[in-house]
Chains A and B, each alone.
Chain A
Amino acid sequence: MTAPSLELIGFTKRFGAMAALDDVSVRIGAGAFHALLGENGAGKSTLVKCAMGYYAADQGQILLNGREVEIAHPRQAHELGLGMVYQHFTLVPNMTVLENFVLSRGDLPAVIDWVSERRALKSFFETTPFTVPIDTPVADLAAGQKQKGEILRQLYLKRNLLILDEPTSVLTPDEADEVLTTLKKLTTSGQITIVTITHKFREVNTYCDAVTVLRRGQLIGTKPTSELDNDIMAEMMVGRRETRTVVEREARAPGKAVLKLEGLSVADNVGQLAVEELALDIRAGEIVGVAGVSGNGQRELVEALAGQRNVEAGKMLVHGEVYTATRPEMVRHKVACLPEEPLRNACVADMSVAENIALRSFDQPPSSPDGIRLRRSPMRETARKLIEAYKVKTPGPDAAIRGLSGGNVQRAVLARELSSEGDLLIVANPCFGLDFAAVAEIRARIVQARNRGAAVLLVSEDLDEILQLSDRIVVMFDGKLALQTDAATADVGAIGRAMAGH
């Protein structure tokens, strides 16, 4: 195998009115270990998916080894030797490594000769820098071994240009080093070329030859790693944001701690700790912004606070009392929650707007005189008032909430959560995918809640949003707090570095 060079010229890709990529060009040399760097939504994944034929770019030209090629379908990319390794695993868990590898080859005989296939794979594994157990079902492999298996399969399929999409996000640092070190050897010996999407500066500094930085679909620049340091990279990634626009707010000294997290650990879906021994206080009348690249434990943290996920270890305290996110506790401590994707996480999609707005209070007067019977008219009345106050665009309180636009679902949920004048407000990515006017209004509502003395935990992948709204900023990386800083004196460069694990 010899490593190819790849050149992407003038890539543009629009999703509706939004340009995910705007005239981006990258040149990746033969045998390079090339990093693509950028925040969430910068366009890295879109770029590589265009190159792999998963998306059809609106414009753009691909040169492989200097020759123009057309890639309209992933299969064409595979035939040209391009392979992709994802964040999530694509090996089939209920099959063995051998079965997975042989199946993905695609050209199977009617009856498979496992003896010779096993021999062939064994001798192939003698030529590779690392191996995985051949006859183990993939489900029984550790995360690091699974990721190695994914990479080995690409090599087995004779792909010599690998695109890795955050390949180490599911690995421990040791596992990541082992995988990256061996990949590095393969590139320096000229066998393969690697493009890796990453957020981790440490990995870029240690393993990559060159870095391309994207920001909001724009190419910021490509530079050899030798010319870069963490400060320059952070600045390229998050930009200079000296003109920090802060949403207007009352100056007020924060009060007593409303939410206290003590050594909180939360596991993710596969049982690994996504939040590790987190300690954080949120006081009355302040917004604490949790910045960070998605997948560093923010989702699990919010789910634990919202009662959607069990806590592995540690304590959550609200008003000094142990809080386990049960409904009575939420009522007693006035906890309000605006999770991300509210239609999925905070609504019953087929119920009406009025019923959804009543979800917090339907079992209390006036909606229910005794906790058993329900009275529709007070529910509808409350909903009508809130719909007007929060400008929710709906055909009426009895329309199914599923039919509302994203911004209006968000407004309806915000109306429900804020109408109780809660003491603690937990908000996650509240403005994701919303238009400009809706964004401004929802942010203003959050600041209003803070102004009247609520403690607000704001989790967001949008650094601008964090900078605009927060009184205090913390950065989550790998399930831990990487940085805590006062928003007024925050150093954006330091935040960018912390987001990348430095």
Chain B
Amino acid sequence: MDGSDLGLWGVPLAMLAGAIRVSTPFIFVSLGECLTERSGRINLGLEGTLMMGAMTAYGTALLSGSPWLGVLVAAGVGLMLGALHAALCQLPKVNDIATGIGLMLFGTGLAFFLGKPYIQPKAPNLGALDLGAWSSIPQVQQALQVNPLFLIGIVLAFALAWALKNTRWGLIVRLAGESVDAALAIGASVGRVRLLATAVGGAFAGIGGAFLSLYYPGSWNEGLSSGQGLMAVALVIFARWDPIRCLWASLLFGAAGAISPALQSVGVTQGYYLFSAAPYVLTLALMIATCSPARSLRGAPAELGAVK
């Protein structure tokens, strides 16, 4: 990216572009985690789901030639991993945090193992919509190349927020997350609600993985995720379990991730790796700022083990 003719304006523009490009996996994973946690369960395994989604999407796209089929398969794999997590957690004396970490390692390990043959070949890309065609500035055009999954993610955030508030299904998911007693009192099966919510959440994370391997960075390798799946969990807490705030927080994280390349493009080359750590520093800072020993977090689902 050559931003020198835009001067310092290149930095916010590059961060906007970054927000649009980098945020998509954050959006999907955090929405998936948001849904899961609203039902009263934590799934820390979404990092593994993300990697499995990325690998299977890439493999499917490579073999079938259709990247969108890859997205679908990634969603299916995510669904199964989510269901596996939920099923394990329903066994007596099983802790959802330990299971989640186990599944995170299992997912990434399995993805590396099965993904070995896909590191070299080039799979077809998902492609993008040129929303910047109105501008004559090439940087703006480039920044506004938007992948359809980003738009789907935005729609999904609003749809999820609406569904949690206005549908029977959404209210019962929330009830399962807030009060098991109250859910049982109206005859809802807490186990089944959490199973479904966790499975669907896993499917979202799988789609996030497909974006990584099929659009940006757009290849399959073992360093693909760099912890987005875990950061999304922190992001859900920062967003106070609200899907729409998850969307804003994802954009913020995406923009933070773009600081380093953006500064590089205007000639600030010192501290490249320091600025690369911005999303992680942001995660840490947000966790410290929003946690308090005296009270549990406002908006936290009451049945969520880790915040009790």
Contact = CB atoms under 8 A, between A and B. Distances in A.
Contacts of A74: 185
A112 B166 CA distance: 5
Nearest to B167: A111
Nearest to B171: A103
Interface string A274-303: 000000000000000000000000000000
A106 interface: yes
Most buried by B among A75, A94, A108, A114: A94
Interface string A229-262: 0000000000000000000000000000000000
B166 A114 contact: yes
B164 to A, nearest CB: 11
B33 interface: no
B181 A94 contact: no
A90 interface: yes
A34 to B, nearest CB: 25
A95 interface: yes
A93 interface: yes
Contacts of B171: 99, 102-103, 108, 112
Contacts of B166: 111-112, 114
A110 B186 contact: no
A94 B178 contact: yes
Interface string A93-129: 1110001001111101111101000000000000000
B49 to A, nearest CB: 27
A95 B302 contact: no
A92 B187 contact: no
B222 to A, nearest CB: 39
Contacts of B145: none
A94 B301 contact: yes
Interface string B288-304: 00000000001111100
Contact of B169 (A92, A104, A110): A110
A73 B172 CA distance: 22
B174 interface: yes
Contacts of B169: 110
Interface size class of A (residues with CB under 8 A): 20 to 34
Contacts of B179: 90, 92
B207 interface: no
A139 B179 CA distance: 13
B105 interface: no
Contacts of B168: 108-112
A146 to B, nearest CB: 14
A95 B300 CA distance: 11
B175 interface: yes
A377 to B, nearest CB: 35
Nearest to A91: B182
Q: Which among A93, A103, A109 has the highest number of chain B CB atoms within 10 Å?
A: A103
Contacts of B186: 103-106
A83 to B, nearest CB: 11
Interface string B158-173: 0000000011110110
A95 B178 CA distance: 9
Nearest to B177: A94
Given A112-B166, A112-B167, A112-B168, A106 B178 contact: no
Contact of B167 (A105, A106, A110, A139): A110
Given A90-B182, A103-B171, A108-B172, 18 more contacts: A75-B187, A90-B179, A92-B174, A92-B178, A92-B179, A93-B178, A94-B301, A95-B178, A102-B171, A103-B186, A104-B182, A104-B185, A110-B167, A111-B166, A111-B167, A111-B168, A112-B166, A112-B167
Q: Nearest 7 pairs between A and B by C-beta?
A: A108-B168, A106-B186, A92-B178, A92-B179, A110-B168, A111-B167, A94-B178
Interface of B: 166-169, 171-172, 174-175, 178-179, 181-182, 185-187, 298-302
25 contacts: A74-B185, A75-B187, A90-B179, A90-B181, A90-B182, A92-B175, A92-B179, A92-B302, A93-B302, A94-B174, A94-B302, A95-B178, A99-B171, A104-B185, A104-B186, A106-B186, A108-B168, A108-B172, A109-B168, A110-B167, A110-B168, A110-B169, A111-B166, A112-B168, A114-B166
